């Protein structure tokens, strides 16, 4: 497969520019690319320009690429015109399998060879979506998080017909444009982050249904608790630190049995020796020689800084708006 060099890509095709697709447009513009957008909605262009205007101050604060221009986007009513001359396509059409299948065939017919297509889908696999394509090789999933211009994560995975080279190219490309990439070995419904989010969300719904917690208590339990740890250290490292100096190995060896306690509606897997070893080895790899004490020092520094930010944002809100930098009462609902 003859794929372009990253530096040769200057113009991006964005197919579907609602909340997610429009967020991608904002990201590409901030990174200095030209964007050609296509969306059949009559008010797509107006909504897109509003979204870009709203996002631009944030993107400016995060740092724009040289030459980044919020106006470097054209909106086309003709798909072939929109895809003419682009070096990459991000597809963010509505989550409708029939629609995606038909749209992919139209993209294939109009798009120059060697141009990779990344799909923002959160609900379908590329294998499911690629059924109408003559050659699905260059079609991969590049699943972002909302808003795509602020949340770095992109989950990349190919379908059965995707070329391994196209998957590798897409992962490198998303890294090239400033995203944090997870390349998955195989298709898993929901990918990774949404499966984890969904498990928590479903447990929350069960608790609300049973009167065990209110909506607000669910949110407070995260924002005032474990949520403060997660921007720096994910759930696995969190448990590694909960194990004390012995880390994850100690945690699994001593608290493994309590996994079977009836704490959530989600059944626990059998903690086999193999699973235990795989988790411990994974943590070792991730920690890269950093001791539990080092990780704790980092965590504490991060929590302090994050708490200050959140307090400031709530104080500003209490004082009547994000533009007000004065110190004030934090006020409800989180004080």
Which residues within the stretch 29-88 sit at the binding site for a second copy (CB under 8 A)? 55, 58, 61-62
109 near a second copy (CB under 8 A): no
Residues in the chain: 335
| Sign of the alpha-carbon dihedral angle for 241, 246, 249, 250 | negative
Q: Nearer Cβ to a second copy, position 104 or 191? A: 191
* 7-11 contacts at long range (C-beta below 8 A, 24 or more positions apart): 8/87, 9/33, 9/87, 9/88, 9/173, 10/34, 10/87, 11/35, 11/36, 11/85, 11/86, 11/87
Helix (H) or strand (E) segment spanning residue 183? strand 180-183
258 near a second copy (CB under 8 A): yes
To a second copy, the closest distance from the beta carbon of 273 in angstroms equals 12
201 near a second copy (CB under 8 A): yes
26 near a second copy (CB under 8 A): no
Residues 270-309 that bind a second copy (CB under 8 A): 271-272, 275, 278-279, 281-283, 285-286, 288, 297-298, 300-307, 309
**Alpha helix stretches (DSSP H) within 77-192:** 79-83, 97-110, 126-129, 164-176
CB 28 within 8 A of CB 154: no
Binding residues with a second copy: total (CB under 8 A) = 114
Which residue, chain included where needed, has tokens 């001791």?
Answer: 291
Residues 136-175 that bind a second copy (CB under 8 A): 145-147, 150-153, 155
215 near a second copy (CB under 8 A): yes
Q: Nearer Cβ to a second copy, position 54 or 109? A: 54
Kindly indicate which of the ranges 1-9, 102-110, 113-121, 225-233 contains the residues binding a second copy, using the contact rule CB under 8 A.
225-233
To a second copy, the closest distance from the beta carbon of 263 in angstroms equals 4
To a second copy, the closest distance from the beta carbon of 27 in angstroms equals 13
Helix (H) or strand (E) segment spanning residue 141? strand 139-144
Binding test (CB under 8 A) with a second copy, winner from 214, 246, 320, 324: 214
Binding test (CB under 8 A) with a second copy, winner from 84, 228, 249, 319: 228
To a second copy, the closest distance from the beta carbon of 136 in angstroms equals 22
320 near a second copy (CB under 8 A): no
As given in the structure block, the two tokens for residue 279 are 């988790």
176 near a second copy (CB under 8 A): no
To a second copy, the closest distance from the beta carbon of 62 in angstroms equals 6
To a second copy, the closest distance from the beta carbon of 49 in angstroms equals 16
Report how far apart, in Å, the C-alpha atoms of 245 and of each of 230, 241, 249, 322, 329 are.
Answer: 20, 8, 10, 42, 39
96 near a second copy (CB under 8 A): no
229 near a second copy (CB under 8 A): yes
Q: What is the full DSSP assignment across 221-288?
A: HHHTTGGGTTTTS-HHHHHHHHTGGGHHHHHHHHHGGGGGSSSSSSPPPP--HHHHHHHHHHHHHHHT
Q: Nearer Cβ to a second copy, position 4 or 70? A: 70
DSSP 8-state symbol, 132: G
DSSP 8-state symbol, 216: H
């Amino acid at each position: 497969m003859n794929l372009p060099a990253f530096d040769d890509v200057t113009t991006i095709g964005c197919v579907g520019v609602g909340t997610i697709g429009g967020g991608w447009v904002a990201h590409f513009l901030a990174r200095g690319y030209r964007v050609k957008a296509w969306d059949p909605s009559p008010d797509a262009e107006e909504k897109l320009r509003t979204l870009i205007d709203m996002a631009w101050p944030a993107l400016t604060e995060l740092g724009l690429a040289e030459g980044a221009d919020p106006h470097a986007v054209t909106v086309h009513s003709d798909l072939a015109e929109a895809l003419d001359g682009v070096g990459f396509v991000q597809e963010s059409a509505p989550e409708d399998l029939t629609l995606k299948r038909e749209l992919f065939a139209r993209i294939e017919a109009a798009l120059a060879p060697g141009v990779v297509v990344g799909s923002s889908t959160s609900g379908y696999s590329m294998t499911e979506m690629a059924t109408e394509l003559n050659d699905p090789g260059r079609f991969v999933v590049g699943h972002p998080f909302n808003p795509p211009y602020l949340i770095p994560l992109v989950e990349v995975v190919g379908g059965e017909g995707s070329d391994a080279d196209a998957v590798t190219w897409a992962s490198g490309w998303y890294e090239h444009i400033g995203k944090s990439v997870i390349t998955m070995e195989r298709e898993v419904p929901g990918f990774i982050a949404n499966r984890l989010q969904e498990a928590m969300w479903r447990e929350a719904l069960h608790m609300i249904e049973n009167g065990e917690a209110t909506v607000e208590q669910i949110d407070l339990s995260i924002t005032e608790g474990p949520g403060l740890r997660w921007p720096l250290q994910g759930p696995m490292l969190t448990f590694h630190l909960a194990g004390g100096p012995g880390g994850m190995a100690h945690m699994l060896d001593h608290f493994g049995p309590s996994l079977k306690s009836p704490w959530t509606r989600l059944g626990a897997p059998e903690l086999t020796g193999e699973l235990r070893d795989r988790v411990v080895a994974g943590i070792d790899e991730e920690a890269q020689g950093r001791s539990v004490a080092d990780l704790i020092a980092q965590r504490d520094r991060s929590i302090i800084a994050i708490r200050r930010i959140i307090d400031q944002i709530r104080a500003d809100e209490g004082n009547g708006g994000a533009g007000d930098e004065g110190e004030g009462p934090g006020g409800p609902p989180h004080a």
